[in-house]
Amino acid sequence: MQKSKKNEASKAPYRPRRSAEIWSLIGLRLSQLKEERRFTSAHLAREINVSPSQISRYLRDEARAPRTKVVQLARVLGVNPAYLAGESALRDIARTPLPDHVAQLHRRANRMSNQVLRIPDPVRQERVVAIAESLVS
């Protein structure tokens, strides 16, 4: 009895894999941007709907982020997706720079956001956010 041949038409089309060098570049750039922006892995994970441990795997080059997640991470980090993916040296999305006082407020808001995320009780987190929103509206 002969073994049946697999149906060649049912196979997915061949797509070449990205080289390991590009993927380690993603991990390196993601790590640098995360540190610069003072984002936690939990914050990034929440923004792109993955677990914090998955973000850690991306950072350590133990997992490859799908293209959609790379685009989402780039948007959260405020960089060109091609830069994060290792396909471009152009880091920033073309935009006008923020005035110094606005950039300083932005950095302070990011730090405060990270502090709120460290509050272990989600109910207390929501209260803090509600109070902050009432002050700025």
Range of the domain at 57: 17-95
Q: Both 70 and 130 in a single domain? A: no
The pLDDT of 63-87, averaged and rounded, is 86
Residue 45 has what pLDDT? 93
The pLDDT of 111-118, averaged and rounded, is 83
Q: Both 90 and 133 in a single domain? A: no
With respect to residue 68, please indicate whether it lies within any of the assigned structural domains: yes
What own/partner pairs with CB < 8 Å and gap ≥ 24 does 29-32 have? Answer: 29/83, 29/84, 29/86, 30/58, 30/59, 30/73, 30/77, 30/84, 31/59
Q: Both 49 and 107 in a single domain? A: no
In tens, the pLDDT along 33-63 reads: 999 889 999 999 999 999 999 999 999 888 8
Q: Is 18 helix (H, G, I), strand (E, B) or coil?
A: coil
Model-level pTM? 0.52
Residue 68 is encoded by which pair of tokens? Answer: 């959609």
Residue 46 has what pLDDT? 93
For residue 45, the domain's CATH number is: 1.10.260.40
Total number of domains constituting the chain:
2
With respect to residue 3, please indicate whether it lies within any of the assigned structural domains: no
Q: Both 115 and 53 in a single domain? A: no
Q: Provide, rounded to the nearest whole percent, the portion of the chain with pLDDT above 70.
A: 74
With respect to residue 6, please indicate whether it lies within any of the assigned structural domains: no
With respect to residue 5, please indicate whether it lies within any of the assigned structural domains: no
